[in-house]
Structure 1
Amino acid sequence: MTARRAGAPADDLVFSPGMLARALQAFPDTTPKLVVLQACHAGGFAPALAGVPGLVGLAAARHDRTSFGCDPGPDMTTFGAIYIGLLAGRLTDASALPALDWPAIYQQVQARVAAAEAAQGATPSLPVLLEGAPAQ
């Protein structure tokens, strides 16, 4: 707060939805933009990213939910582990990322996360599909 009160721009202090949207909009509209947000409440980024041309991605939890498996100790959340596992089975190299069927990957991640949450009686995190504006 001291830095903010001293005039530091908010984007220099926190990673915000607006900051990410502006960073992604700096790329040409035709550049594919892939974003995966593995954090509690990450779905809150969706409204700010909706106008980013060529964006697709996933957020681990809806804006009002924590991410499942976000406990001290593990290297990543349950969402992250499921996502990485699904991606590893489809990816031959990074150049293939834009061509992947992201809505299908989202459906699979969402279903597996929901099953894991149900098995442990956890509150659903409701992962979010992030979609920007169509690329021009």
Structure 2
Amino acid sequence: MKNKISVKHKQAQEIMSSPVKIMTLTMTVRDAIRFLMVYKLSGAPLVDHLGQLVSLVSELDLMQIGALDGTGVTLNESLNRLPKKSEIISVKPDTLFVDIFKLFLDNGLRQLLVMDDTQHVVGIIARRDILKAYIDLEGQ
């Protein structure tokens, strides 16, 4: 029971992965696919030249864009096919684990961005980070 209480009080900044691997608007779809493969990611944030979030690019997004527009187009040219910033669920660094867990379950998320007050991505939480939080606490 003690472990369940401690995990609930952890914050996003304690379980997130950081620094975050990010994509840029000038990357082609081909570059983005290679990027995900090299870093073994299922998706990554897309940021503008100021480092502010534009979208979140998934493997499925790249498959669809590649099939429809080819792999030579840039992510900037494909923005209309990517999730809008307003559709992306994110949390702040001080968001509690229990709230993060609920967001994952309620929305079927694979990953969750951690954003600061200036809309910069400061971390990312994947399902495996949630599971790791449980395992780490078992060792206590």
The question of a shared fold, defined as TM-score above 0.5 by the shorter chain, is answered with no
TM (norm. structure 1) is: 0.27
Normalised by the length of structure 2, the TM-score is 0.27
Which has the larger share of strand?
2
